[in-house]
Structure formats: C-alpha cells, structure tokens
Structure 1
Amino acid sequence: MPTLHTYDYAVIRLVPRVEREEFINVGVIISCPSAAYLQAAIEIDTARLHAFAPQLDQAAVQPWLDAIVAICRGEPDAGPIAQLPPRARFHFLTAKRSSVVQTSVTHVGRTSNPAGLVEHLLERMVRTPR
C-alpha cells in the first residue's frame, strides 16, 4: 500500500480592489513536510484577468508572484524568508494580508503522490473549467 502524506495547500489570488474582496485564482502553494515538499506554481489566464480587472497591471504584480515561487524553492537571492525552514516559509506565504496578492485559507489533504498535486490543484482551483 502506498504511503499517504498529509499536505496543506493555499490558493494564490489576485485581488485588484482589496476593498471589494473580489479575486481571481492564479496559483497554488503546497506544503508536504513528510515528503520534504514545498512548491508554488503560478498560471495566469491573461484574457480572463483582463476581463475581470482591466485596470490591473499584470507586469506590476508579476514580481510578487515570482517571489512566492522563489521563496518556496529557497532560492538564495529570494531574501531572508527563503532561507527559513520549508514549513516556516509556507506559513509566512499563507499569512493573512490585505494586498493585491493574497492567499486563501489553508486546506488539508492526503496524497500518495505529492509531486502530482501541483497539476491537480491548478486544474481544480485555477484553470477555467472546460
């Protein structure tokens, strides 16, 4: 029987007008400590984003989204947060904030394939249903 790992995930959102609390999902962050796995992925449907928030400058928020991915990877040039243990990085990235780039509350699941979670969650939570 395959080993089941408990994981946490949060959906990355763009909130163009924070006071309205409307958002569009653009990525996911996944933490699976028992498999030493922390990953984030961003996937923006530009046409959908423009239809949702034509005033939002995607180029202006892209560095913040890229920073999430870099922090998850622990890249040396991603700043001091990227040097923290993986679980601390996940908690930092998923902390509640009032900004254009936010994350959902964290959710918990179990999987035997942590590496397959990114694709699964992008399909389920970010991509436009087919």
Structure 2
Amino acid sequence: MRTGDLYDYALLRVVPRVEREEFINAGVLLSCPMRRVLIARVGLDVPRLLALDPTVDVETVQRQLDAIVAICEGRPGSGPIGALPIRARFHWLTAKRSALIQPSPVHTGRCTTPEAVVEHLFDRMVRAPR
C-alpha cells in the first residue's frame, strides 16, 4: 500500500553573524522527485532578525532569499544553478556553507500534496508563534 511520495526538505536559516551561530528560520525548501517539484517558501521576520543583529542589511538578506526562490522555480536570470535539473538544484541549495543564508540538515518524509507540506512546515517552523 502506497502512502505518498518521498520528499526531502530543509529550512533556510538567516545567520546574520556567523561567529555567534544565532539564526532565525526564514524559509522552507522541499523537493519531491516523483512529482518533479522543487518548492521554496520564504518569509523574513524583520523584527526578529534585527533583534539578533541591528546592523544586518535586510535588503541583502531579502535579495538572497528571493534568489533562492528564483533558482527553485528555474526562472530566467537565475543563472546556471537555475538551469540544473530539480534534484541538482535542491542539492546545491542544501549544501553546507558558512554564509548569511544557511540550510538546515535535510529531512525526509512522505506526502500526497507537496504544497500542503510546505505550508505546514512554514507555519510550524518559520512563522513566529502566536
């Protein structure tokens, strides 16, 4: 009995001062190879980010998050990474790095609707608790 398609996801973390290792979650990446989808959902909580580092360049952070969305969608202008196959884009975006935007470890699950999973993960892991 099939219970859904395998997917992998990672959170996108904004690390304004890498040496302090403090971060906020600012997005979700989800890849579902069987459905040929790669989805990025981002949302920057500026007040939370500024609480970590009042000097962070918010425009740069937002530009980098928007570039990740463009790469996931394979938009024109997303460069050579945006032209790669979906799985290669996911692996490139989730590679470990010491940068302003960092991926979490990759996690796996099963789903029937990848878009619903992204929204659930975004609500649970990115949005500030109410």
TM exceeding 0.5:
yes
Residue 109 of structure 1 aligns to a residue in which SS? strand
Report what 2:57 is aligned to: 57
Distance, in Å, in 1 between the alignment partners of 2:62 and 2:22 is 19
* Residues matched between the structures, number: 130
Structure 1 CA distance for aligned equivalents of residues 125 and 26 of structure 2? 9
Q: Report deviation, 1:3.
A: 5.2
TM-score normalised by the chain length of structure 2: 0.94
Query: What code does the residue aligned with 1:57 have?
Result: D
Other-structure match for 2:39:
39
Residues 52-91 of structure 1 aligned to structure 2 (within 5 Å): 52-91=52-91
Percent sequence identity is: 58
Q: Is the 8 A contact 1:5 1:112 kept in 2?
A: yes
Instruction: Give how far 1:48 is off.
Output: 1.7
Question: Are the counterparts in 2 of residues 12 and 27 from structure 1 also a CA contact under 8 Å?
Answer: yes
Give the CA deviation at 1:120: 0.5
1:58-86: CA deviation from partner (whole Å, max 9, x where unpaired): 11222211110000001121001100000
- 8 Å Cα contact 1:2/1:112 also seen in 2: no
In the TM superposition, residue 115 of structure 1 has moved relative to its aligned partner by 1.6
Contact 1:27 1:40 in 2 (8 A): yes
Distance between the aligned counterparts of 1:102 and 1:84, measured in 2? 20
- Letter in structure 2 aligned against 1:32: C
Contact 1:8–1:30, Cα closer than 8 Å, also in 2: yes
Gaps of 5+ in 1: none
**What TM-score do you get using the length of structure 1 for normalisation?**
0.94
Query: Which position in structure 2 is the counterpart of 1:100?
Result: 100
Distance 1:74 1:14 in 2: 22
CA deviations over 1:26-79 (Å, ceiling 9, x no partner): 001000001111010111112222222212111122221111000000112100
Please provide the CA RMSD for this pair. 1.3
